[in-house]
C-alpha cells in the first residue's frame, strides 16, 4: 500500500480544528470524507503533522495518507480536491517511503500570527485587530526571553489531550520575531513542537507588553513558575496560521509567507 505526503492549505474559520471529532466539522474529517468519495475506499489511514485549534488556519499543513489506489499523485490530488469545500485545498501530493511520518518525522514547525494595525473589511477572519498603539521595542525585548529551551507550563492549556500527554512542557523555540509588514505585525515563531494554545498565549502576552499593560520583565517571569495570566491573555484563533512544517533536509531559514496582506494604502486612482 503506497504512502502519500499531502500538503494542504485551509481557512479554519468554519472548522472545529484539524482533528476528527464526533458531532463537529473538522478539516481532517472533511478530507477523510473527500478521500472516500474520490477513491471509493473506506480502508485508509490519514495522519496530520499536528492539530490546529478551532478557527486556526494553515498555509502548508502536512499529512500522510496510506491507501490502496492505482491513481498517480496528480490524479489523486485532483480527484480529492474536486470533493473538498472551497476553504480546503490540497497543494501537492507525492509518494513517500513508509518511514516518513507526517508528525513524527517533523523536525520543526513555524507559525505566523497576524496582528492588524488598521480596521479591515475583508481580512477580519484572518487577523486580530489591535486598535491600541503598541510598543514594538518592548514586544521585541519580551519575545527574546522566550527563545531557547524553556519551560512553557504557564502557556499550555490545562485540558491538553493525548497528543501532549506525557510530553514535557519544555519546548525549544528556535526563533521568535515580530515583523512589520503591509499594515500588519507578524509574530513569527519556529520551534521543535508547540503545546496546545501555546502560540496564541505567547502572542497575547506580547500584545499586553505592547500595550504597556505588562513589562518585558514580567513577561519573562511567566517562565519561572506556573501562572494563569497567559490563559487570560490568549489571542484570538483568527490570526494564527500554521505556515510551514519542516522535515530532515529542509532549510529552516526560508522566507516567511505573509498570509493576508492588509495594506495601509487604499487610495484609488482613476
| CATH code of the domain covering residue 177 | 3.30.70.660
Identify the pLDDT of residue 269: 37
Residues 235 and 200 in one domain: yes
Residues 114 and 232 in one domain: yes
pLDDT of 28 higher than 90: yes
CATH code for the domain in which residue 12 is found: 3.30.70.580
For the chain, give the mean pLDDT: 91
* Catalytic residue list: 53
Identify the pLDDT of residue 263: 55
Of residues 72 and 225, the one with the higher pLDDT is 72
Of residues 254 and 202, the one with the higher pLDDT is 202
Per-residue H/E/C for 40-92: CCCCCEEEECCCCCCCCEEEEEEEEEECCCCCCHHHHHHHHHHHCCCCEEEEE
Identify the pLDDT of residue 122: 86
pLDDT of 167 higher than 90: no
| Cell 517533523, residue located | 106
> Torsion angle, CA of 188/28/197/252, rounded to 10 degrees?
-30
Residues 119 and 189 in one domain: yes
Residue 269 lies in a domain: no
Identify the pLDDT of residue 268: 38
pLDDT band at 258 (very low <50, low <70, confident <90, very high): confident
pLDDT of 76 higher than 70: yes
Amino acid at each position: 500500500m503506497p504512502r502519500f505526503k499531502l500538503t494542504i492549505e485551509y481557512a479554519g474559520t468554519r472548522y472545529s480544528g484539524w482533528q476528527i471529532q464526533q458531532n463537529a466539522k473538522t478539516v481532517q474529517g472533511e478530507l477523510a470524507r473527500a478521500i472516500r468519495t474520490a477513491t471509493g475506499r473506506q480502508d485508509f489511514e490519514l495522519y496530520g503533522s499536528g492539530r490546529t485549534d478551532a478557527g486556526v488556519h494553515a498555509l502548508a499543513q502536512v499529512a500522510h495518507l496510506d491507501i490502496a489506489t492505482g491513481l498517480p499523485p496528480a490524479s489523486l490530488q485532483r480527484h480529492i480536491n474536486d470533493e473538498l469545500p472551497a476553504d480546503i485545498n490540497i497543494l501537492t501530493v507525492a509518494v513517500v517511503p513508509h518511514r516518513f511520518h507526517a508528525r513524527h518525522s517533523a523536525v520543526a514547525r513555524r507559525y505566523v500570527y497576524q496582528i492588524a494595525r488598521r480596521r479591515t473589511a475583508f481580512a477580519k477572519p484572518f487577523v486580530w485587530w489591535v486598535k491600541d498603539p503598541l510598543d514594538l521595542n518592548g514586544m521585541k525585548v519580551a519575545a527574546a526571553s522566550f527563545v531557547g529551551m524553556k519551560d512553557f507550563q504557564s502557556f499550555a492549556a490545562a485540558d491538553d489531550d493525548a497528543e501532549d500527554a506525557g510530553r514535557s512542557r519544555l519546548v525549544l523555540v528556535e526563533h521568535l520575531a515580530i515583523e512589520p509588514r503591509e499594515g500588519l505585525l507578524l509574530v513569527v515563531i519556529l520551534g521543535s513542537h508547540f503545546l496546545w494554545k501555546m502560540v496564541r498565549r505567547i502572542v497575547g502576552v506580547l500584545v499586553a507588553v505592547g500595550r504597556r499593560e505588562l513589562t518585558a520583565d514580567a513577561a519573562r517571569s511567566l517562565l519561572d513558575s506556573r501562572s494563569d495570566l497567559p490563559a487570560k491573555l490568549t489571542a484570538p484563533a483568527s490570526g494564527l496560521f500554521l505556515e510551514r512544517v519542516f522535515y530532515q533536509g529542509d532549510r529552516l531559514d526560508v522566507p516567511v509567507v505573509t498570509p493576508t496582506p492588509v495594506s495601509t494604502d487604499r487610495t484609488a486612482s482613476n
